[in-house]
Copies of this chain bind each other. A is one copy, B any other.
Amino acid sequence: MKPLDPASSPLLTDLYQLTMLQAYAARNMSGSAVFELFVRKLPATRNFLLATGLGTLLDWLEGLRFSEAELDWVRRCGLFDTGFADWLGGLRFEGDVDALEEGTPFFADEPLLRVTAPLPQAQLIESRLVNIVHYQTMVASKAARCVLAAPGKRLIDFGLRRAHGADAGLAAARAAWIAGFDGTATALAGAAMDIPVFGTMAHSFVQAHADESQAFETFAEVFPGNAVMLIDTYDTEAGARKVVALAQRLRERGIAVRGVRLDSGDLDALSRSVRAILDAGGLREAILFASGNLDEHRLQALVSAGAPIDAFGIGTALTTVGDAPSLDMVYKLQQYEGRPSRKRSAGKATWPGPKQVWRWTDAQGRLLRDEVTLVHERRDAQPLLSAVMRAGRRLRADPPLEAIRARTREQLQRLPAPLAGLAPAAAHPVLISDEVRALADRVDREHGG
């Protein structure tokens, strides 16, 4: 069988979901199950996480069905009963989803998503649900740190090539854009999601010309007014001087040079010397773009040093989330047929029952504290989980990405300063309600301790 599109195939799941489903089907266990998605512990280098990926997940849930080719594998693989494939063929996701809006900061122990559905449906979706939300949430959280570290600078996602596969490259562009990046270099993100795309030139373009100035001239002629020249292939300052000389010749022909890009060396020192060369050469309007192994810490260092850089390309550190490439994010059964439940595995115990998260803010909207309660509890605060899907259908069209991005910017502005900084801060207070604690005790007693 030719590889199916993994991004949509329901076989992109752990085999145990299918074996459990066969057992559920055999025993008619199709009662209502409640699962919640949450992070047990934040990475040491994160003061908050940004919920992201919901729109992608809802698309996937609405389209969930097994194709004939997929069912054929289920029949042939030798692991399942004869009738199971037919049963799977009729399976759709017809459950409910409550979730944080995309771009909402959240913390350890807070559900960012609650699924209520017949047990087999809620179970089957686990692997890909985590796979979608985990990665986009990680990238958006990393991107938000970059945005907060470089106020007023333009940030572009440059990380497709070292992202972990095709899907990650595209998802990273979405998550970074939501978190406040200004765009991406990934062309498909423009075509598929209307995210602004940016691109300059590679070293190979310069090298393919016998002469560096000739490479710049060609590019300026093909993209008049829009050419950003990569000047570090041989010698950065010499490259800048070539751009100045070229710009003077091009000006007579009515062609402007947009800017230059640095991709190596001491970006602080080089940005100053290059800026001086450009300014002295009459190119005060030319923008200065920098890239090369950047992350939020290098961004902050360059910005606070006052390096005259207008825009940054952030690549590998963003799309691989280099300092924290996974989260302890899990999707756990909280209730089945009205009976609350939790696992007590050493170091992995969870809070039982369907829950809500409440957020208190001060008069300026700044976060004060959160509380996790059971769904029926009420607080004089903002409830963060809201209904987004009922009986397998979205309750409303997703907001445009641009609107999600604007709301995210607002959310980031409400973070208390310590959480918004790069240094590890004291954990944001997340209370667990007395009722949740009492329920945990009751569930444990019923399992005999």
A residues in contact (CB < 8 Å) with B = 1-7, 9, 11-20, 22-24, 26-27, 29, 33, 35, 70, 73, 77, 79, 119, 123, 126-128, 130-132, 134-135, 158, 160-171, 185-188, 190-193, 197-208, 210, 218-219, 221-223, 232-235, 263-266, 316, 320-322, 325-327, 329, 332-333, 336, 339, 341-348, 447
Contact = CB atoms under 8 A, between A and B. Distances in A.
A171 B163 CA distance: 13
A447 B135 contact: no
B19 A167 contact: no
A6 B169 CA distance: 8
A151 to B, nearest CB: 26
Contacts of A263: 345
Residue with the greatest number of chain B CB neighbours at <10 A, chosen from A35, A343, A347:
A343
B190 A23 contact: no
A409 B186 CA distance: 37
Contact of A14 (B33, B185, B235): B185
Contacts of A341: 207-208
Given A11-B187, A316-B326, A16 B169 contact: no
Given A3-B192, A263-B345, 7 more contacts: A4-B188, A12-B169, A165-B170, A206-B343, A233-B344, A265-B347, A322-B325
A345 B192 contact: no
Q: How many copies does the complex hold?
A: 2
Nearest to A158: B14
Contact of A333 (B70, B204, B234, B316): B204
A418 B160 CA distance: 34
10 nearest CB pairs, A to B: A15-B199, A165-B167, A16-B199, A164-B164, A204-B333, A264-B345, A265-B346, A73-B191, A165-B168, A6-B166
A163 B131 contact: yes
A12 B160 contact: yes
Contacts of A198: 15
Contacts of A265: 345-347
A32 to B, nearest CB: 11
A223 B19 contact: yes
A362 B93 CA distance: 59
Contact of A204 (B165, B197, B207, B332): B332
Contact of A170 (B12, B158, B161, B316): B12
Nearest to A207: B341
A369 to B, nearest CB: 29
Given A192-B3, A316-B326, A19 B165 contact: no
A126 B208 CA distance: 15
Given A6-B166, A6-B170, A166-B131, A160 B320 contact: no
A347 B264 contact: yes
Most buried by B among A79, A161, A203, A264: A161
Nearest to A330: B161
A170 B6 CA distance: 7
B161 A14 contact: yes
Contact of A207 (B70, B171, B342): B342
Nearest to A9: B188
A201 B11 contact: no
Contacts of A123: 202, 204-205
